[in-house]
Amino acid sequence: MRTYRRTEKDGSAHVNGSPNTHAHIGMGTGARPFALVNKQGQHERLYCVNHAAEQAGLYIGMAVTQARALCRNLTLWPAAPDDDTQFLRHLRRWTQRYTPWASIDGTDGLLLDITGAAHLFGGEMMMLTDIRRRLDAMGLSCRLGLADTRGAAWALAHYHEAIAPVGETETAIEHLPVAALRLEPDMVVALQRLGLRRIADLQATARAPLARRFGPDLLAKLDQAMGFRSEPLSPDADPPYYAASMTLAEPIGLLDDLWRGLDELLSRLCVTLTNQHMGMRAMELVLRRVDKASLTLPLRLAAPMRDKDRILPLFSRQLEMVDSGFGIDQLRLRALQVEPLAMEQMGAEVVPDLNDLITRIGTRIGLNNIQRFTPHDSHWPERSFALAPATSHQGARNWGPQDWGRSPLRPTCLFPPEPIYAHHDGRREPPHEFQWRRDIFTIAKASGPERIAPEWWNSTQSLRDYWYVQTSQGRRLWIFHTPQDKGYAQGSGWFVQGEFA
Amino acid sequence: MIKSIFKEAEPPPTPFPLRLSRVHEVMGPAAYSFGLIGAQSAGLPLLWIRKAGLAPNLFPQGIAAFLPPDQILLARPADQKDSLAVAEEALKDKALKSVVLESQAPLNLREGRRLQLAAQTGGGLGLCLIRDGMGSNAAETRWICSPLYDPAPDRICQDSTLMRWECIKNKSGTIGAWHVRWDRTAHRLHMVPAPSHGTGLAHI
């Protein structure tokens, strides 16, 4: 069916928008020279230029210093190729209003197969006009080409914006330079050296020597552009969309009804997630009321999940607080953060999952307020550990007791150093009697010193001599003094930093 | 009939190890050790609830003498109400074996009772670290823990862990005082008879 239509009439439209066009918006496209810059190798180079900059003699790949020298009022902006790709993906989705067969072509183009779709817009001409008008309204500049074949459409979009009438592909593109055949730059140079500048020259040349000299690729490209060799277009699949919504004829307000609606949405979403082997970590439920106010109930999970029966109860705290007003007529559930989640063996023993509990507590106090100790590479006591959210992946790293068997004595509690009050006689041993937290202590036993030096790049702290002291009152403390601080600015120069409580 | 006689004849249960499915209270300067040892005997993981306004003061390298620090989850709620809600939620859940709540305000009977019921549902151990006189009547046992000076001469280079644990309230057993010592390498509790009472726990 499709091939038949193709022989009769095939339209291939090529939309070529300059990349980063979204970055130009608001920059006065075309009025002033503007270029995007990124780092290629060791040099900052132009990544993309607008028309005014091109007029000034700038080209893509030029060094930024050279461009500045040529063009005094040049505006530069860092390029973001990832965002461009993302934008192009959105634009591709938008072009599906014209045809279902749309795909991204290279880094800066879109390819539409408009077979059988042009008449819906009043013909090819009208369709292209419509595309151009709408893109203009969006603030995008574009170049459009339309031809029977994919290669010809590309050539027209890049070198001579036009519509090639049906069956006249050859006449439409033969006057274009050979680079319009999507060839490698060095092949283009080589062809030009031979005097083959236009596609017509190439066609007039004998094929066998060309194939011998340049390999099969050149002739393949030529044949594809002319339509002697097929080059199918495979439309990109739409990325999976992790959301579900439900619009109701009559507004609802009862909690039971909301539960039922959420249950329905969640089962739909979980089916999508299961098919894609994904789990969601964050989602939001938007409830739209009849009076157009909308309520957003966010939910973050401690671990990626796609199990409906486990997620549903986690909404209970928030759903019970919903003020439904005159009623709710639209429910929308959207996954905000999705992560790969592998399939699991079924039928295993059901163990209560700690992550469910973390999520439940997290909905009340915030997921970041549930933490775990993570080791940190430092001898300095305050820096030897860190508190990371319990949901982060790099928890639970070698805290095993085997690491601590040979570790020195450390207190259970650690607090910021608190000065102790004592008569200081300049000795290196701890004072016999001291006052700390309004209590008087006498030292019965002391062991030390254990010298801990800060890392050499931390010059604000000076090294400490730690002592483990047992007081005759019973409390066991971890105290230190700083032998390098000659001034003893703070009292005795001794501090309590921990307690073996 | 015979069964009931046997029950009568059983010695009253000792207060330590702490009864599971119950909430206990502990105060005094060695309350942290008591909490960690209690959690270690009741089972891990442990949720430690401490208000967000207070600086975190557990030191994982020191805790390692009692239990592996990666088995501790810290919850840092904003206020007392949230702390109690988190404690209740965690006690109800069977995924956690023990919950320690650092309470900054007195617990009233209703709050204490709610925690107690939550602990009965979940089957774990609940521990409230309280200040003097802030306990609730619903607590199963209440302890005062303080470190003791250890005159034994050979322990100078090691941490002595001699403590006095005094049980001042017990709903279902005896009260008393015990001297205990924690063995950091074997992760076991050694009981030393308290001088005044002369009776220790026979087996832990």
Nearest to B75 among A370, A381, A501 (CB): A370
Q: What order do you get walking across the sheet with A278-289 strand by strand?
A: A243-252, A328-340, A278-289, A294-305
Indicate the pLDDT class of residue A492, thresholds 50, 70 and 90. low
Asked if A25 and A5 count as a contact pair (C-beta separation under 8 A), the reply is: no
Q: Is the confidence at residue A1, as pLDDT, over 50? A: no
Instruction: Look at residue A490 in the predicted model and tell me its pLDDT.
Output: 54
Residues of A in contact with B31 (CB under 8 A): 501
Asked if B63 and A414 count as a contact pair (C-beta separation under 8 A), the reply is: no
Per-residue pLDDT tens for A143-153? Answer: 888 888 888 88
Q: What is the mean pLDDT of residues A152-161?
A: 88
Q: Is residue B9 part of a domain?
A: no
Q: Is residue B202 part of a domain?
A: no
Structural domain of residue B55, as residue ranges? 14-192
A495: left (phi over 0), alpha (psi -120 to 50) or beta: beta
Q: What is the mean pLDDT of residues A175-179?
A: 89
Residues of B in contact with A449 (CB under 8 A): none
Q: Is residue B169 part of a domain?
A: yes
Asked if B58 and B73 count as a contact pair (C-beta separation under 8 A), the reply is: no
Q: What order do you get walking across the sheet with A75-78 strand by strand?
A: A43-49, A34-40, A75-78
Q: Does A414 touch chain B (CB under 8 A)?
A: yes
Cis peptide bond N-terminal to B17, omega within 30:
yes
Q: Is the confidence at residue A29, as pLDDT, over 60? A: no
Q: Does A474 touch chain B (CB under 8 A)?
A: yes
Q: What order do you get walking across the sheet with A476-481 strand by strand?
A: A413-419, A494-499, A476-481, A464-471, A439-452, A433-436
Nearest to A352 among B95, B147, B185 (CB): B95
**Rounded CA gap, B103 and B31, in Å?**
12
Closest C-alpha to A331, from A290, A359, A364, A301: A290
Q: Is residue B165 part of a domain?
A: yes
* Percent of chain A topping pLDDT 90: 10
- Would you give the end-to-end CA distance of chain A in angstroms? 83
**Rounded CA gap, B119 and B91, in Å?**
5
Mean pLDDT of chain B: 81
The pairing of strands A328-340 and A439-452 is: unpaired
Q: Is residue B6 part of a domain?
A: no
**Rounded CA gap, A366 and B75, in Å?**
10
Q: Is the confidence at residue A501, as pLDDT, over 80? A: no
B45 contacts A354? CB cut-off 8 A: yes
B148 contacts A364? CB cut-off 8 A: no
C-alpha dihedral sign at A145, A146, A151, A156: negative
Q: What is the mean pLDDT of residues A456-463?
A: 80
B94 contacts A407? CB cut-off 8 A: no
CATH class given for the domain over A243-344+351-363 = alpha beta
Per-residue pLDDT tens for A36-95? Answer: 888 888 888 888 888 888 888 888 888 889 998 988 888 888 888 888 888 888 888 888
Domains in chain A: boundaries: 14-67+78-143, 243-344+351-363, 372-404, 413-499
A407 contacts B147? CB cut-off 8 A: no
Nearest CA in chain A to B148: A474
Q: Does A59 touch chain B (CB under 8 A)?
A: no
Instruction: Look at residue B153 in the predicted model and tell me its pLDDT.
Output: 63
Tokens of A211: 């194939």
Mean pLDDT of chain A: 82
**Rounded CA gap, B111 and B124, in Å?**
18
Q: Is the confidence at residue A234, as pLDDT, over 90? A: no
Q: Is residue B86 part of a domain?
A: yes
Instruction: Look at residue B66 in the predicted model and tell me its pLDDT.
Output: 86
**Rounded CA gap, A257 and A324, in Å?**
11
Tokens of B9: 């004849």
Q: How many domains does chain B have?
A: 1
Indicate the pLDDT class of residue A425, thresholds 50, 70 and 90. low
Residues of B in contact with A396 (CB under 8 A): 70
A472 contacts B147? CB cut-off 8 A: no
What is the CATH number for B68?
Answer: 3.40.50.300
Residues of B in contact with A370 (CB under 8 A): 73-76
What b-and-e string marks burial along A171-192, b requiring 16 or more CB atoms within 10 Å of the CB? ebbeebbbbbbbbeeebbebbe
Nearest CA in chain B to A365: B77
Closest C-alpha to A77, from A148, A152, A19, A139: A19
Indicate the pLDDT class of residue B68, thresholds 50, 70 and 90. confident
**Rounded CA gap, A310 and B95, in Å?**
14
- Would you give the end-to-end CA distance of chain B in angstroms? 31
What b-and-e string marks burial along A20-51, b requiring 16 or more CB atoms within 10 Å of the CB? bbbbbeeeebeeebbbbbeeeeeebbbbbbbe
Tokens of A34: 């503007």
Q: What is the mean pLDDT of residues B137-165?
A: 78
Instruction: Look at residue A16 in the predicted model and tell me its pLDDT.
Output: 52
**Between A and B, how many residue pairs show a Cβ–Cβ distance under 8 A?**
151
Residue A151 identity: G
A471 contacts B74? CB cut-off 8 A: no
Nearest to A399 among B60, B66, B75 (CB): B60
Please give the angle made by the CA atoms of A148, A150 and A156, to the nearest 5 degrees: 80
Q: Is A270 exposed, middle or buried (0-12, 13-18, 19+ CB in 10 A)?
A: buried
Q: Is the confidence at residue A488, as pLDDT, over 60? A: no
Q: Is the confidence at residue A19, as pLDDT, over 50? A: no
A475 contacts B147? CB cut-off 8 A: yes
Q: What is the mean pLDDT of residues A235-241?
A: 79
Instruction: Look at residue A455 in the predicted model and tell me its pLDDT.
Output: 86
Asked if A432 and A446 count as a contact pair (C-beta separation under 8 A), the reply is: no
Closest C-alpha to A295, from A285, A304, A305: A285
C-alpha dihedral sign at A414, A419, A423, A428: positive
What CA–CA distances, in Å, run from A284 to A265, A293, A310, A358?
12, 16, 16, 18
Q: What is the mean pLDDT of residues A231-248?
A: 84
C-alpha dihedral sign at A181, A182, A184, A186: positive
Nearest CA in chain A to B163: A474
Q: Is the confidence at residue A6, as pLDDT, over 80? A: no
* Percent of chain B topping pLDDT 70: 82
- Tokens 């596609």 found at: A199
H or E element in which residue B183 lies: strand B176-183
Q: Is residue B1 part of a domain?
A: no
Please give the angle made by the CA atoms of A373, A375 and A379, to the nearest 5 degrees: 125
C-alpha dihedral sign at B188, A374, A465, A402: positive
Q: Is the confidence at residue A220, as pLDDT, over 60? A: yes
Q: What is the mean pLDDT of residues A414-422?
A: 87
Q: What order do you get walking across the sheet with A101-105 strand by strand?
A: A101-105, A109-113, A12-17, A142-147
Indicate the pLDDT class of residue A269, thresholds 50, 70 and 90. very high
Å between A350 CA and nearest CA of chain B = 11
Nearest CA in chain A to B155: A445
> Which residue has better confidence, A318 or A458?
A318
* Percent of chain A topping pLDDT 70: 87
Residues 338-357 of A with CB under 8 A from B: 351-354, 356-357
Nearest to A364 among B58, B86, B95 (CB): B86
A365 contacts B64? CB cut-off 8 A: no
